[in-house]
Amino acid sequence: MCPVTDAPDREYTDDYPEKTLYIPGPTEVREDVIEEMAQPMFGHRMDRMTDLYTTIVEDTKDFLDTDNEVIILTGSGTEFWEASTLNLVDEKILVPTCGSFSERHANVAERLGKDVDRLEYEWGEAIKPEDVREAIEESDNEYDVVASVMNESSTGVRNPIEEIGDVVAEYPDTYFVVDAVSALGGDYVDIDEHNIDVIFTSTQKAFAMPPGLAICVVSSEAYEREIEKDSASWYGGFQRCLDYYDRKGQTHSTPAIPIMLAYRKQMKHMLEEGHHARDERHREMTEYVHEWAREHFDLFAEEGYRSQTVSCIENTQGIDVAATIEEVSAEYDMVFSNGYGSQLGEKTFRIGHMGEHDLESIRELTEAIEDVAGL
């Protein structure tokens, strides 16, 4: 039975002040990218659609510097937790868990009826490649997939996915899936060099686009692997998506066309800046935020494994995190995030320094926090 709601009628208003976003996504979107969405609609089987979709797919390959295939699908990153599991896992999957999002990935695989082994880490710790090797060896090399989160957005950990990829490469029957939501586009990764079969993200994070699309990069081995299976995902089937692209240069179903228009514009900006320069800008912001955090608080994530796009700051001063966020929002029209869930809610807070932010805009936020929290 549907739950009955007795909520009073609400009148919707757009009368909200604009806020600058420093949350771990969605993040700030350039004005000209937003404007791109306000165009008359066209059909998803028209030539214009083929031009648009092939442009954004090929530009994404260029930007990510990969020879693998690219799928851009209406949905969010979550879609590829499901699709990659359905497409590649017959029975067993190893999911190293080190926070909320990696735990959710394991949970998705369980719901899909897969035999899930977790390699569990304390929140704040990073996944270690040698532990992954040990787990694979202990299982008698039975995993179809090892699935690792690149950036654990709940704890600010950046896992060494390059080294984990090199370990998984020693086991040719095991595929390596990386959840790079909140990292890709702001933290350089050489996808082809490190045997990453599947890596995905969402548009609203370090790509700095509106939410609504998921981006997935797929190796030819992962594509082939799926063909052997008849229980693959329909919507996120690598074969269906990529074959359709090959034949028609379009998506298999009606996509979120306005977001794709925004994507095309933003990808031009990203190509102009370049992946390495974008990575460098994010590194500078990270160094600044880390220095600031060490001066006033501490960092939650294990040293040596800290994210380049989301900093999780340990609230060593016992500030009222919720009240500080509210006041910074009210006085400065800037929004940052509390710690993740009840576990880290007041114990930490998070700053998203990704997408189109730069040193200057990040400094504006830290100054606002200093002012409000009396640091």
Residue in 78, 107, 239, 361 binding ligand PLP, rule: CB under 6 A: 78
Residue in 22, 53, 63, 101 binding ligand PLP, rule: CB under 6 A: 101
153 binds ligand PLP (CB under 6 A): yes
- Give counts: helices (H), strands (E), the chain: 13, 15
Is the previous residue joined to 26 through a cis bond, with omega within 30 degrees of 0?
yes
User: CA nearest 238: which of 214, 257, 258, 206?
Assistant: 214
Minimum distance, C-beta of residue 53 to ligand PLP, in the bound complex (Å): 20
179 binds ligand PLP (CB under 6 A): yes
- What DSSP line would sit under 66-114, residue for residue? -SSEEEEEES-THHHHHHHHHHH-SSEEEEEE-SHHHHHHHHHHHHTT-
Residue in 21, 33, 77, 339 binding ligand PLP, rule: CB under 6 A: 77
Nearer to ligand PLP, 92 or 104 (CB): 104
Minimum distance, C-beta of residue 197 to ligand PLP, in the bound complex (Å): 17
Q: How far apart are CA 266 and CA 169, in angstroms?
A: 33
Minimum distance, C-beta of residue 77 to ligand PLP, in the bound complex (Å): 3
73 binds ligand PLP (CB under 6 A): no
Minimum distance, C-beta of residue 74 to ligand PLP, in the bound complex (Å): 12
User: CA nearest 110: which of 129, 125, 97?
Assistant: 97
Cβ–Cβ < 8 Å for 233, 78: no
- What DSSP line would sit under 155-179, residue for residue? TTEE--HHHHHHHHTT-TT-EEEEE
Nearer to ligand PLP, 50 or 78 (CB): 78
- What is the distance of C-alpha 256 from the center of its chain? 19
315 binds ligand PLP (CB under 6 A): no
Nearer to ligand PLP, 64 or 319 (CB): 64
Minimum distance, C-beta of residue 230 to ligand PLP, in the bound complex (Å): 26
Residue in 87, 155, 182, 233 binding ligand PLP, rule: CB under 6 A: 182
Cβ–Cβ < 8 Å for 49, 39: no
Residues that bind ligand PLP (CB under 6 A): 25, 76-78, 101, 149, 151, 153, 179, 181-182, 202
